[in-house]
Amino acid sequence: MKTLTFNNGDKIPVLGLGTWKSKPGEVYQAVLWAIEAGYRHIDCAAIYNNEKEVGAALKKAMTDGLVKREDLFVTSKLWNDCHRKEDVKKGFLKSLSDLQLDYVDLYLIHWPISFKKGVGFAENREQYFTYSDVPLSQTWQGMQGLKSEGLTKHIGMSNFNISKLKEVLAIGGDGPEMNQVEMHPFLRQEKLVEFCKSNNILMTAYSPLGSGDRSTSSKKADEPKLFENEIILSIASKYEVNPAAVLIAFSTNRDIAVIPKSVNQERIIQNFHSGNLILDKGDLDQLLQIKDQYRFIDGTFFTGTKSPYTLSDLWESD
């Protein structure tokens, strides 16, 4: 499996198992199936509310000799209610305990949005902190502390735009090493990709298949469908693979890590093999020129009259 390399020489497998929306009762077996299939990169987060089960699967896999800890790459993420410097380590240690690990390989700030302690999803203005209350510098200094203690090998963020990345880079000291964002042929993120590469920040693509299994309340009736796009279907036919393989290869062929989620054993195996699909330049160029552009995870649940944040705090203006 292809890997990407951090500045210190550590490597991250380009393909990982995503665990967002994997329900307790399903994710344990999915993680074991993934490790058996060859996955060594598992992506987790506190807010997914399944890290205890992921941790149990990781422990069983290591106890049974399926994999050694040093051969696994485990990512977790800091939730929005732990952005104050004094809360960063508390949030991290909860995930570390749930995952039954001594360290994680990568720890990310999940969103550039801050809630008051104990808030799962803010429902009113009183449950939010502003950037004046909790500046990103405070959160990032907490993240740097985790790395300096050896609790995480690498630190970064998720859902950060260029302006927010610049703000963090200006802090000095250990800089961001990863930015995980939604990415697929309908959301190519070309400016953000260029910025991250020019600043030695690796990238991970989430929802590479369009996250069709998310709740209907978060979907729009007229959403475009990646699996019905003629260019994607044509390329899949050419390589005699399913469209999901092309969507996964879209990231791996751009040297971007990708974390498709599945709890189905057959699809977990199919997705893993998709990480080895090499697209020729013409096919990749076609995918990079698809006119339809659409953000499936639009972030509106963090904005509006109830919130001090706007979409410009999340995404690029274009």
- State yes or no: pLDDT of 317 exceeds 80: no
Dig out the tokens for 99 from the structure: 């995952």
Locate the domains of the chain by residue range. Answer: 3-212+251-265+297-308
Other Cβ atoms closer than 10 A to 260: 26
- State yes or no: pLDDT of 119 exceeds 60: yes
Band of pLDDT at residue 9, cut at 50, 70 and 90: very high
Instruction: With CA atoms as reference, report the closest residue to 42 among 259, 274, 256.
Output: 259
The whole-number pLDDT of residue 318 equals: 53
Band of pLDDT at residue 212, cut at 50, 70 and 90: low
What would the mean pLDDT of 252-269 be, rounded to a whole number? 96
Q: Dump pLDDT digits (tens) for 52-88.
A: 999 999 999 999 999 999 999 999 999 999 999 999 9
- Paired residues of 64 in beta bridges: none
CATH class of the structural domain 3-212+251-265+297-308: alpha beta
How far is 292 from 287, CA to CA, in rounded Å?
11
Residues 277 and 248 sit within 8 Å (Cβ to Cβ)? yes
Mean pLDDT, rounded, of the chain: 94
The mean-pLDDT minimum among 5-14, 64-73, 216-225 falls in 216-225
Instruction: With CA atoms as reference, report the closest residue to 164 among 276, 267, 309, 40.
Output: 309
Which sequence positions are flagged as catalytic?
A: 48
Residues 207 and 184 sit within 8 Å (Cβ to Cβ)? yes
Cα–Cα distance list, 29 to 5, 19, 54 (Å): 29, 12, 9
- State yes or no: pLDDT of 316 exceeds 90: no
The mean-pLDDT minimum among 18-22, 137-141, 171-175 falls in 18-22
Other Cβ atoms closer than 10 A to 187: 22
**How many residues appear in the chain?**
318
Q: Dump pLDDT digits (tens) for 144-168.
A: 999 999 999 999 999 999 999 999 9
